[in-house]
Amino acid sequence: MTTVAAYAAPAAKAPLERTTIERREVGEHDVLIDIKFAGICHSDIHQVREGWGEAIFPMVPGHEIAGVVSEVGPGVTKYAVGDRVGVGCMVDSCRECDNCRAGREQYCTGGMVGTYNALDKNGEPTYGGYAQTIVVDENYVVRIPDGLALDVAAPLLCAGITTYSPLKRWGAGPGKKVAILGMGGLGHMGVKIAHALGAEVTVLSQSLRKKDDGLKLGADHYHATADQKTFEDLRGTFDLIVSTVSAPLDLGAYLSLLKTEGTLANVGAPEEPVSLNLFSVIGGGKTLAGSMIGGIAETQEMLDFCATHGIGAEIELIGAAEINEAYERVLNSDVRYRFVIDTATI
C-alpha cells in the first residue's frame, strides 16, 4: 500500500477536506497514474450528498481523471511510463458477460466497479480522482491523444463520453436537428460534439444568460425554457433531444418538441423520480431512452474524435481548497462549464 493525499467527504453532505488514502501496490496488469487534473461532475455532488441512496464514506469523488503513467506492472502491454492517460467512471467489470464482451462494460451484468463509491473485487472501497495518484487495471485506462491538453481533456472522461455515446447511437449528424437540454458540464460538451458531428444544434437552457457562449461553442439556435413561447415555437422540431438536466423536469413538455418518431435520450440523473403522461410518447410514436457513460473502446473513440476536431472542455481550473465552493456553484447552475481541480494543490 502507498499513502497518498486526497480530498474526501468524511460523511454524507459534509464538506470535502484534505486527507490521506491508501492505494494498492501496482499489480501484474495495473498502471500507476500520477493524476494531474480531475473534473468535478454533478454526479460527484449527488453522491457526496447521498442523493442517489446510501453511499460509502469517506468518499474521494472524481471520475474525470487525466494524468501521466508513472509505473506499470510486469504484464502491462498497452501503456508505458510517461504516457498521457485518462480514467473515467469505471475501473473494472466482470469481463465475461455479453455486455462486457460487446464493449458495453458500463452495463456489465456482473456489476461494473465504479471509480469511487464502490467496492472492488477484493471488497475494498474505491477512491476517485481528487487525489495525487490512482492504480487502475490497464484495460480500464484510455489514452489521451497528444493534441489534447490534459486539463481540458479530463472532463471528456465523463461529460464527453456521456454525450458522445447517445449522439452517435441516435444518429446525430448532417440533416438532423438535435437539441441539447441544459448547458452545464455535460450540455456544453453535447453542443460541441453534436456540432462536430454535423447536426443542426439547438440549446434549450433555463434562460438566455449563456446564449453567447452556446453560439460560440457551435449551437445554431438557443432558447430559454422559462419562456412558454419556446414550447409553442419549437413544437415537433427535433429528431433527437439529449437531456442533461440534473433535476426532475416535465418530460412531457420536451417530448412535444420531438418530430414524429423522434427520441428523447436522457442522461441527467435527478435524485427524485419524474412522472409522465404516457400519451406523450404514444402520440407520434416517440422514444424515451436512457444512456449511461460509454464503454472503454467507445471512450477511446470519443477522445480520438475530440482530438481530431480540436474539442476540449471549457474549464475553470481551481485549487483543491475551492472544491466546496465549486459544488455550490454547480448546484446554482453557475458553472462555465466544468470545474477542474489542479491536483498539484491537494
Note the residues at the interface with ligand NAP (CB under 6 A).
41-43, 46, 158-159, 162, 182-187, 205-206, 244-247, 249, 267-270, 291-293, 330, 333, 335
Candidates 34-42, 142-150, 209-217, 256-264: pick the segment binding Zn ion (CB under 5 A). 34-42
In the complex with ligand NAP, which residue's Cβ is closer, 150 or 183?
183
SS (H, E, C) the chain: CEEEEEEEECCCCCCCEEEEEEECCCCCCEEEEEEEEEECCHHHHHHHCCCCCCCCCCECCCCCEEEEEEEECCCCCCCCCCCEEEECCEEECCCCCHHHHCCCHHHCCCCCEECCCCECCCCCECCCCCECEEEEEHHHCEECCCCCCHHHHHHHHCHHHHHHHHHHHCCCCCCCEEEEECCCHHHHHHHHHHHHCCCEEEEEECCCCCHHHHHHHCCCEEEECCCHHHHHHCCCCEEEEEECCCCCCCHHHHHCCEEEEEEEEECCCCCCCCCCCCHHHHCCCCEEEECCCCCHHHHHHHHHHHHHCCCCCCEEEECHHHHHHHHHHHHCCCCCCEEEEEHHHC
Which residue's beta carbon is nearest to the bound ligand NAP? 184
- Taking residue 145's Cβ as centre, other Cβ atoms within 10 Å add up to 15
Does residue 41 belong to the site contacting Zn ion (CB under 5 A)? yes
Closest CB 188 distance from ligand NAP, rounded Å: 8
Residues 127-166, one symbol each (x = binds Zn ion by CB under 5 A, - = not), give -------------------------------x--------
Residue (of 298, 169, 332, 338) closest to 242 by Cα position = 169
Closest CB 255 distance from ligand NAP, rounded Å: 15
Number of residues that bind Zn ion (CB under 5 A): 3
In the complex with Zn ion, which residue's Cβ is closer, 134 or 158?
158
Closest CB 232 distance from ligand NAP, rounded Å: 19
Q: Which does 333 bind (CB under 5 to 8 A by kind): Zn ion, ligand NAP, none?
A: ligand NAP
In the complex with ligand NAP, which residue's Cβ is closer, 68 or 289?
289
Closest CB 323 distance from ligand NAP, rounded Å: 14
Q: Which does 186 bind (CB under 5 to 8 A by kind): ligand NAP, Zn ion, none?
A: ligand NAP
In the complex with ligand NAP, which residue's Cβ is closer, 290 or 310?
290
Closest CB 150 distance from ligand NAP, rounded Å: 19
In the complex with ligand NAP, which residue's Cβ is closer, 69 or 296?
296
Does residue 43 belong to the site contacting Zn ion (CB under 5 A)? yes
Candidates 18-26, 38-46, 71-79, 257-265: pick the segment binding Zn ion (CB under 5 A). 38-46
Closest CB 293 distance from ligand NAP, rounded Å: 4
In the complex with Zn ion, which residue's Cβ is closer, 129 or 262?
129
| Contact of 218 with 196, CB cutoff 8 Å | yes
Q: Which does 267 bind (CB under 5 to 8 A by kind): ligand NAP, Zn ion, none?
A: ligand NAP
CA distances from 202 to 50, 181, 214, 233 (A): 33, 9, 9, 13
> Which chain residues interact with Zn ion by CB under 5 A?
41, 43, 158
